[in-house]
Structure 1
Amino acid sequence: MFNDSSTRIAAGLREWIAAAAPGARLPSTRSLVAEYGASPVTVQKALRALASEGLVEARPGVGTFVRAVRAARPSDYGWQTAALGSPPARIPRQPAALRPAANDVIALHSGYPDRELLPERLVRAAFTRAARGDAALSRPPTAGLPELQSWFAAELGEATPAGITPPAPSDVIVLPGSQTGLCSVFRVLVGTGRPLLMESPTFWGAIIAAAREGVEVVPIPSGPGGPDPDALARAFEQTGARAFYAQPNFANPTGAQWTDALTGRVLDVVREHGAFLIEDDWAHEFGIDAQVAPVAARDDGGHVVYLRSLTKSVSPSVRVAAVIARGPARERILADAQAESMYVSGTLQAAALDIVTQPAWRTHLRGLRHQLASRRDLLVRSLAEHVPASHLEAVPQGGLNLWVRLPDDTDLPRLVRACEDDGVLVVSGDEWFPAEPTGAYLRLNYSGPGPSAFPRAAGVIGRHLEH
């Protein structure tokens, strides 16, 4: 039997490539497994190493090919440096959570649910009907289809307690995804160079949106129980900020959910300082052991600006979200959204409305709750068994992720690279901190593909953490 290490396989393939013509197809993975007496994972590791060296290129569903060498004249774009000048803000690089994953790896890095957790039949049927309807050829109103506005308002209205005026459909603005909504809200409610209070750690998308708009982020420490309202009050007083961005339900990445008492205290602080709470209800459909309790349902004074997206729960292709705001803030956000994108595709809006108003949507959500629970619990058990040095401060009652703390002396970049070399994609928790990270963390997504591989993935993490 041959030495089955990926290094030996890569060396053998380099000799093969040296004698092959550009564009030649490499032997199949099955053939290489038989030739080298190695596992498919080891063979794929060798192929990834060759791809990183620029020797081969993979074509999904077709095979792996010798990369053709193209002699190209070097381009000189130096003149653009002077033409563009310095950027107004340093935008963070693309988050690792958005990296595409090959089929042969265990992907714990992404923030999106696996396809099997999406209502695929509902989505396909809805798009078919939407393509045949008037929405495919008509320009929708700037604020969104009235029926979809009504649905978003009614969803929040269901949680509104007695004595609080529920939102009206006219309070709703439909947007092309929550990221667009974050940029618009930060631009309108905060403004360039002005302070924005933000939970730390928090959603990397909000950090990027703040950087894009030139907003000065002021981190507010937030743990498994949410932020400290006293620290929030001090930050408002010291900075003069007029907005606080937070995820009160199943926060990304910590999984924290605010208690009723904490919600009341935060609302009091926000009202006392004449400020806004920008509530990102990203995980509305992902409750497991607890129901979502939107803070916006408890406020009719216009202090809470509420964002909710359907992209993660319906389909990544359905970039439909909504902002619910009242008073002049709503009018300014609407004007900004109109200037930014004019309107959201009527076809997308019609398809989204079709999906969420079908009786099967509620059935799907009930099944989703059970699927997420089993995946979460399997990953928790796998970490406890294979990564005993890790610490899970709390098992989240909803959401898609575990926020795992590692020993303080962990070399996170080395760990992430070593895991990837072994076919497990993880991402450093550093990307979720708007300032310096306060510890060594991994955010692990339990809603990705292949949950049966969680024990093996945990074994890889544990093995490399020990070395």
Structure 2
Amino acid sequence: MKSDNSIHIVTQALRDLIASSAPGAQLPSVRDLIEKFRVSPATVQNAFARLAGEGLIDPRPGQGTFVRQRPITGAASDLSWQAVALGAGRHAGGSMQDLLALPPPGSIPLSMGYLPQDLQATELLSAALKQIARNPALWDRLPFEGMDLLRAWFAREIGHGNVFSPHEAIICPGGQAAIASTLRALLAPGSTLLVEAPTYIGVISAARAAGITLVPVPGDADGVRPDLLEAALHETGARVFYCQPTFANPSGALLSELRRKQVLKVVADARAFLIEDDWARDLHLGSPPPPPLAAQDPNGHVIYIRSLAKSAAPGLRIAAIMARGAALARLRAARGGEDFFVSGPLQAAALNIVTSPGWKRHLSTARNALAERRDALVTALRAEIGSDIGINVPQGGMHLWMQLPDHVSDTALASDLARQGVLVSPGRAWFPADPPGSYLRLTFAVAPSILREGARIIGTAIRQRGDRQTE
């Protein structure tokens, strides 16, 4: 991939510089390297991470990055044999790595996927950790399915008659792990997974790493189109569909009430599974969303995933998968062979905060702030670019999905913005196949003043792209 090649180029240039520098010499800053190589901040951060892993550099937060030691002299290592041994790569992780890279200090991070620190449940977590520190038994072995009380909480949260019992929930270390485990449990390498278009970049990455073929199913502002889903199930023979019916990432779409019934019927008629990733249920910015699809599924077609990292804090790597029947047995087998069980103190901390009186207050505060910040970004973008700009204003989550003018490349624009310290996510990374247009995903979770400055720079960059087109 282009991203991987850029990382290699920057890494190799830095290796050459290190080889000719004395220990303790300061290397160029992230901003200087961005300007020199015309790459994103994430690419530079990945290059630094590789060199730090090799023991060649000494990153000092707030000071810079310094040469740690000279590379070992003498005959160079020959690592070329690894290319033959490893074979063709299945990971298409460049875009995922860009999103996971920590933003450089002073940047405007409009590409992140978590609440910023000022909206995280850090006080609740700190109090919870102090309390559970007095219980040494939590460091002992736990059932690989998770703590009973935490499993019961996840099952109750679906409501509507308690569709799942606690023993049908499995605790996982975060939503991404839950998605990857579910794909491995339900799909063999070479099989087909249907996904919405666009869809969550994490499921694209996990599916490709597992050797699974992705087939997109288009949707619109009301979510995935049931007629196209039915056609895709029939034409491909696929038996698994990954869906985010509630505030989809990146589009923000909310599957309409009518389509929820239609999608469930299409999946049931095809005797297929639907993986419901309910990542943003806690982050509705108006009226509460409709019940999960799982609440309307009596026959075990829906595999349900719910995570806490988005609504609490990125470090609370706690999620649950819920399923029934043979699918649950498959998931138990997959999870039991992967990481045995999730840390007891982390599970206890999660249970503590979601059952505390402060949890609802935290969610209310976060929702109010997100709604204000969403409106601030939409207003600023329309003022900078025009009221007819294609923005899907979501009723939940933390992302705007913005369609760019036809003449503006999303990846070129993202590179322009990165050189000015504004980090955005190009839309094409969120499509498993060719995108139908040019898009940006913009996070509106950061402070309004930052959002307004980001919108100003984005508007200027789009106008400059248009000026170049007409020259």
Where on the TM-score scale, by shorter chain, does this alignment land: which range? 0.7 to 0.9
Structure 2, unaligned stretches of length 5 or more? 1-20, 38-43, 49-56, 465-471
* Mapped pair 1:405 → 2:403: yes
Structure 1 position 337, deviation (Å): 0.4
**1:54-98 Cα deviation digits (max 9, x unpaired):** 9xx8955542366578354443211112222334x3433252222
Structure 1 position 146, deviation (Å): 0.3
The corresponding residue for 1:227 is 224
Return the letter of the residue paired with 1:436.
D
The corresponding residue for 1:447 is 445
**1:109-165 Cα deviation digits (max 9, x unpaired):** 1111101111111001111222221443221111110000110011012xx1xxx66
Match of 1:211 among 186, 203, 208: 208
CA RMSD of aligned residues (A): 2.6
Secondary structure of the structure 1 residue equivalent to 2:145: coil
- Structure 1 residues 205, 44: CA separation in 2 closer, same or farther (over 3 Å shift)? closer
The corresponding residue for 1:238 is 235
TM (normalized to structure 2)? Answer: 0.84
The corresponding residue for 1:419 is 417
Match of 2:371 among 373, 377, 401: 373
Distance between the aligned counterparts of 1:284 and 1:134, measured in 2? 33
Percent of matched pairs sharing the same residue: 40
Return the letter of the residue paired with 2:263.
V
- Structure 1 residues 382, 21: CA separation in 2 closer, same or farther (over 3 Å shift)? same
* 8 Å contact kept, 1:192–1:215: yes
* 8 Å contact kept, 1:44–1:104: no
* Mapped pair 1:199 → 2:196: yes
* 8 Å contact kept, 1:23–1:65: no
Distance between the aligned counterparts of 1:394 and 1:48, measured in 2? 31
Secondary structure of the structure 2 residue equivalent to 1:341: coil
Structure 1 position 315, deviation (Å): 1.7
The corresponding residue for 1:431 is 429
The corresponding residue for 2:142 is 140
Secondary structure of the structure 1 residue equivalent to 2:151: helix
Structure 1 position 181, deviation (Å): 1.3
Match of 2:184 among 187, 209, 212: 187
Query: Radius of gyration: which is bigger?
Result: 1
Structure 1 position 179, deviation (Å): 1.3
- Structure 1 residues 443, 58: CA separation in 2 closer, same or farther (over 3 Å shift)? farther
Secondary structure of the structure 1 residue equivalent to 2:255: coil
- Structure 1 residues 64, 185: CA separation in 2 closer, same or farther (over 3 Å shift)? closer
- Structure 1 residues 165, 274: CA separation in 2 closer, same or farther (over 3 Å shift)? farther
* 8 Å contact kept, 1:25–1:63: no
Structure 1, unaligned stretches of length 5 or more? 1-19, 27-42
* 8 Å contact kept, 1:383–1:390: no
* Mapped pair 1:171 → 2:168: yes
* 8 Å contact kept, 1:21–1:66: no
Return the letter of the residue paired with 1:360.
G
* Mapped pair 1:306 → 2:308: no
- Structure 1 residues 389, 93: CA separation in 2 closer, same or farther (over 3 Å shift)? farther
* 8 Å contact kept, 2:95–2:429: no
Q: How does 1:298-377 map to 2 (within 5 A)?
A: 298-377=296-375
* Mapped pair 1:283 → 2:284: no
- Structure 1 residues 286, 121: CA separation in 2 closer, same or farther (over 3 Å shift)? same
Moved more, 106-115 or 71-80: 71-80
Return the letter of the residue paired with 1:116.
D
- Structure 1 residues 216, 48: CA separation in 2 closer, same or farther (over 3 Å shift)? closer
Distance between the aligned counterparts of 2:58 and 2:78, measured in 1? 29
Distance between the aligned counterparts of 1:301 and 1:123, measured in 2? 37
The corresponding residue for 2:64 is 64
* 8 Å contact kept, 2:155–2:162: no
The corresponding residue for 2:13 is none
Structure 1 position 103, deviation (Å): 2.2
Distance between the aligned counterparts of 1:69 and 1:267, measured in 2? 60
* 8 Å contact kept, 1:198–1:245: yes
Secondary structure of the structure 2 residue equivalent to 1:219: strand
Match of 2:133 among 120, 131, 134: 131
TM (normalized to structure 1)? Answer: 0.85
- Structure 1 residues 149, 66: CA separation in 2 closer, same or farther (over 3 Å shift)? closer
- Structure 1 residues 267, 66: CA separation in 2 closer, same or farther (over 3 Å shift)? closer
The corresponding residue for 1:93 is 94
Return the letter of the residue paired with 2:183.
F
Return the letter of the residue paired with 1:183.
A
* 8 Å contact kept, 2:26–2:67: no
